Structure 1
């Protein structure tokens, strides 16, 4: 399991180093964030997509309308796909987004970050019956397994681009250029491909209300200015969730306050801080994501134990599976919101 996590962290945390801008004597290393699930495109690519309203927009192809297909524009150009796909294989790690639009995948790479043979707990019901073909941050998947499923549509991210030529011989293949840390962009990109813009807008509106209401509830109970910090402890390193993962649920969605001098996150990479840098942040509440072994190691740190939040008992300990990449999933974010009050009271 440790080895699998290091594979994820290398793919999901660029070069296993980590970058960050921590001004508090924090160590800066380059880290790739997700997990979950993003592909680290260049800023220029993101800008060009925003400037072109037709990019990734599904358009009916008059010449093929009678055959029940549409022509869409993906990251590689135009591709003809079924207008109403019934047997979708998704390797991009966004089967949860497809479920929002009413699709049930038959094959997926939305496996658990710590055990590629099972689903994350928050997606077990949604993905029940789908075949796990790998993990979304892997560049190759089980080709034989895909063939056996006889898909009528395959969806990949640029992480799996090396498989594109093979996959398109099996079924029409769409490649999505995922955003770096803006999960909303990914929801909208899939909506445009699948022609589900109205559903996406409604889902995001409903989610934003849930998040705002939960933030109001928590601030009323614990104080408007109370600060929260979420970080991953792994292998002696401390990775801060800021603009990604559960950190972004707290700060961007719920509107909770950050500690002063937080290391900024402006791309897919998770900031890394030293133990001294962690202590300097001095949050009122700490959310720690860690395996049992990493949590035990953290508890041995005198610096950690001397922090005000630790001394006051204001620490929420979360198992790495599923919380490491829960915040990178739209469904996972909903689940985290629903759990938040209970987590604060445990």
Structure 2
């Protein structure tokens, strides 16, 4: 009888123990599940404050509806695999032609945002640069707006900061770091050769007119970052460059002449070669030695400051000075 009672007691105790363990496990799973859900929810609603040239803006991490006005930022997001909702669809560079598709909202022109359309989108983030600077206050009323234009007087630092900001917002820090490392390695290769390159000049051709750009200017990266010596250190620094004549080219006689053709991307017609390669400059060093280089205006004029555009800019200069 005592053996039966002992056996019964042991079975009862085991049953209670198993039940207790099960309850503890369920409680643990419930707690863990709740914690996981809380973490997921926190990630979804996490915000960071972005400090930029025009102010400080709280931005949601991994925003879903993004409007982008800068083509350099657009090519960077494309490179990083980040989808956007709206873009200005006029004058989109051919390498970004996918964004002309109807699946993307057309949010106006580069200098004339369609405020009504943007308001309809109710974006989680709007990214602008220099061409939209005056619209910052109005856009900020519609949604969180940040300025990610490149400071041409401090090109690589500014570009790097912008890319790292994108990395933070879209949780792509590692990918950004990899892309920047590749670009910096390529630049280092150019810098090793630049000391042996003769004086260079960058000009913009626009409907028969010529403008020169020197160090610290819109296209000053050629001198300031890549290290090519400038044929003229005193060129006026302005957005539109310093107006010059063919006689100026003869006088300065650069060994390398880099030409950005604005008409090819804005007017749809290229006239740069006819404007530059005239009878007057046929005896200049650049023309005689075949060192007149026509840079792709899609990268240099429309969408500088992007992971793709800067990599292509580096590549073009590298090929020019081989």
TM tier, smaller:
0.5 to 0.7
Match in the other structure for 1:86: 64
Match in the other structure for 1:296: 274
Once residues 65 and 105 of structure 1 are traced to their aligned partners in structure 2, the CA distance between those partners, rounded to angstroms, is 23
1:103 to 65, 76, 82: 82
Q: Which has the higher contact order (CA 8 A, sep 6+)?
A: 1
What is the Cα deviation at residue 160 of structure 1?
3.6
Task: Within 5 Å, give how 1:107-186 maps onto structure 2.
Answer: 107-109=86-88, 117-124=90-97, 130-136=104-110, 138=111, 140-157=112-129, 160=132, 163-164=135-136, 167-168=139-140, 170=142, 172-176=143-147, 178-181=149-152, 182-184=154-156, 185-186=158-159
What is the Cα deviation at residue 344 of structure 1?
6.3
Q: Is the 8 A contact 1:229 1:247 kept in 2?
A: no
Match in the other structure for 1:337: 314
Match in the other structure for 1:308: 285
Could you report, residue by residue, the CA deviation over 1:269-305 in whole angstroms, capped at 9, with x for unpaired residues? 53333333222221222222334334323334x4323
Once residues 298 and 266 of structure 1 are traced to their aligned partners in structure 2, the CA distance between those partners, rounded to angstroms, is 21
Give the TM-score, by structure 2 length.
Answer: 0.64
Once residues 104 and 48 of structure 2 are traced to their aligned partners in structure 1, the CA distance between those partners, rounded to angstroms, is 26
Task: Within 5 Å, give how 1:1-346 maps onto structure 2.
Answer: 65=42, 68-74=45-51, 77-93=55-71, 94-99=73-78, 102-109=81-88, 117-124=90-97, 130-136=104-110, 138=111, 140-157=112-129, 160=132, 163-164=135-136, 167-168=139-140, 170=142, 172-176=143-147, 178-181=149-152, 182-184=154-156, 185-189=158-162, 191-192=164-165, 195=168, 200-216=176-192, 224-243=196-215, 244=217, 247-248=220-221, 250-259=222-231, 261-264=232-235, 268=239, 270-290=241-261, 291=263, 292-300=270-278, 302-318=279-295, 320-321=297-298, 323-325=300-302, 327-340=304-317
Q: Is the 8 A contact 1:246 1:333 kept in 2?
A: no
Give the TM-score, by structure 1 length.
Answer: 0.61
Q: 1:299 to 1:224 in 2, by over 3 A?
A: closer
What is the Cα deviation at residue 235 of structure 1?
3.5
Q: 1:251 to 1:210 in 2, by over 3 A?
A: same
What is the Cα deviation at residue 142 of structure 1?
2.0
Q: 1:233 to 1:186 in 2, by over 3 A?
A: same
Q: Is the 8 A contact 2:299 2:310 kept in 1?
A: no
The CA RMSD measured in Å over matched residues stands at 3.8
What is the Cα deviation at residue 99 of structure 1?
4.3
Once residues 277 and 121 of structure 1 are traced to their aligned partners in structure 2, the CA distance between those partners, rounded to angstroms, is 33
What is the Cα deviation at residue 320 of structure 1?
4.5
2:127 alignment partner, SS class: strand
Structure holding more helix per residue: 2
In the alignment of these two chains, the number of paired residues is: 266
Q: 1:286 to 1:132 in 2, by over 3 A?
A: farther
Once residues 93 and 131 of structure 2 are traced to their aligned partners in structure 1, the CA distance between those partners, rounded to angstroms, is 20
Larger Rg: 2
